[in-house]
Structure 1
């Protein structure tokens, strides 16, 4: 009977120590009020498609007139395309094609960028949306309005736009680039506003095939293409004797940003590209790529 109180005291001490250990192991005690951080969701896409096989042969024949008339060996090379140089094929891939026809030279390129957020509080989709938004701003567009000729000039500061281009494209030398990565013309000294030569926001002589403002649709936000999309129609002069036009379609679907560029340079200086046709073909290819990603 004399040892019972001692046994009871020892048992109480053991229970108390065990409770304290369990409390510390479960994060209780001093850290009981610490919030639990839930990681942001990952993006839908963990891989990217093979870019040089992403465009069907029939579509390439339509976009690259003249390639189908080449000898078999040259034709196969033309349709095979050239993969873009990239150092991380899990994050960014691309492919380009070129064809020469008697009336014009055509160039096509596609780029896929899979965006990953390294901030646990920011989702991959939100990070991809930020990348896409930078491209929209660099193009002088917004989701609420269609830009005029001065939209790009009035969007952001030159320093901000230059920094965004360097971040998105890794390009700091040579010709300046627009949001979709196209080389732009240098400023025309004769232009009172310092606007690039031969470039407009969808109005002016160089906007369309016939030289009338109605002949071309302007750069704009697109509906029903991925989660967000825009088109940029960029007419330039490739030299003193030739016109050159590039249509770019950029869209985002989940955490992947896709860019389609379709360019035409007529063989004769008196010819101008059909802006509407280039836009329609570039949009049609972009929609096919969006469908492929969704499969």
Structure 2
């Protein structure tokens, strides 16, 4: 009987091994290196993934100071004023805001706080970089005047006003002109006046402020900040002053807007007082985000 040829087990293993190793080299190693390889890099996400609750971000003591007319109301109405009115929003992780208003025999005060978390949908652009672009457009839209050269002592004095609680300290003013090279567009803060008249809240319009208190860049507040001060007429005679402080911290842009409207047509709201109180609240909010 004819016997079939066969390859012993050891020889078969050796042949298989030789076949595998004989063709190995650059081609195989190249193929292996591509397994799971990522060819594109994704820009870093922003520091903040959520936003603070705005109506609860301003403490009761600060609200009493900013809204003096509320103290004259019955207790139940006081609580309603201090609770604030939340802005209508469809995504509380992207944008939130709160508004307060209190009338007094002499003046009506309004306060607005707005938080916007900027998200980049471009894998090549980080959330922080996109937030820088959004902030730059708002700063350019404010159309801040060129800085005025003043003695150093005057700058130091302006940089340390009293805050809403009577404390000293805070940010200063930069000495360079803002918004260079930026195209002016409408700010994204959405901070329109409750009456529907946006003329009193539009940066860079109708500003009449004392020397040294002009709209300007602020330093030491978040990653970038500016202040705007607008004096406008409500109706035909009553004057309303609105101070806005906008600052960026990482991928969040914060807007604080504080206004006063006297009852008497001859009264003009004090710019220095409004600016000091607005800046003080902005500093407190910046500290809250730093602790988040």
TM-score normalised by the chain length of structure 2: 0.75
SS of aligned partner of 2:242: strand
Tell me the SS of whatever aligns to 1:165. coil
> 2-side partners of 1:46 and 1:122: how far apart?
16
- The answer on whether the counterparts of 1:176 and 1:183 sit within 8 Å (CA) in structure 2 is no
1:229 equivalent in alignment to 2:248: no
Cα offset for 1:10? 3.6
CA distance in structure 2 between the aligned counterparts of 1:176 and 1:41, rounded to whole angstroms: 39
Q: What's the offset of the Cα at 1:120?
A: 1.8
Aligned to 1:258: 254
The counterpart of 2:122, out of the listed 114, 119, 143, is 119
> 1:182 & 1:16 partners in 2: Cα distance?
77
Equivalent of 1:281 in 270, 274, 277? 277
TM-score by length of 1: 0.74
Q: 1:16 offset after TM fit, Å? A: 5.5
Structure 1 residues 97-116: aligned runs within 5 Å: 97-116=100-119
| Per-residue CA distance 1:204-227 (angstroms, 9 max, x = gap) | xxx24xxxx43x610000011011
TM-superposition CA deviations, 1:44-99 (whole Å, max 9, x none):
11111110000000000000011012101100000000000111100100000000
State whether residues 191 and 201 of structure 2, in contact with CA within 8 Å, keep that contact through their aligned partners in structure 1. no
Match of 1:129 among 114, 132, 136: 132
Task: Write the distance in 2 (CA, Å) between the matches of 1:25 and 1:155.
Answer: 49
| Structure 2 unpaired stretches of 5+ | 149-176
Q: Report the equivalent of 2:147.
A: 146
CA shift at 1:176, angstroms? 8.7
Could you say which residue in structure 2 is the equivalent of 1:182?
Answer: 201
- Pick the aligned partner of 2:41 from 38, 44, 59: 38
- Deviation, structure 1 residue 3: 4.9
Q: Does 1:53 align with 2:60?
A: no
Cα deviation code 1:92-148 (max 9, x no counterpart): 000000000111100000000111112222111111111111100000138xx438x
* Structure index of larger Rg: 2
* 1:69 matched to 2:75: no
